[in-house]
Amino acid sequence: MAIICDYCEQESDSAHTVTKYDEEGKEKGLELLCGLCYAEWLQSIKG
C-alpha cells in the first residue's frame, strides 16, 4: 500500500511519523514523511 508524503506529496512504500507542535509547544498532529524528506528533516533539526 502506497503512502503519500505530507511534505513532497510523492508516493512511498514506507513512511516515518513526525509529531508537529504549534508555537506554544502543544501537539498539533502527526505528519507522514517519506525517507528522503525524513532524512532532510533530521538534518534540519541537527543544525
Measure the CA–CA gap between 33 and 31, rounded to whole angstroms: 6
How confident is the model at residue 35, as a pLDDT? 95
Which pLDDT tens digits describe the chain residue by residue (47 residues)? 789 999 999 999 999 999 999 999 999 999 999 999 999 999 998 87
Measure the CA–CA gap between 43 and 31, rounded to whole angstroms: 17
Phi and psi, residue 23, nearest 5°: -65, -25
How confident is the model at residue 28, as a pLDDT? 95
Where are the domains positioned within the chain?
3-46
Of 1, 36, 35, 3, whose CA–CA distance to 16 is shortest?
A: 35
- What's the whole-model pTM score? 0.80
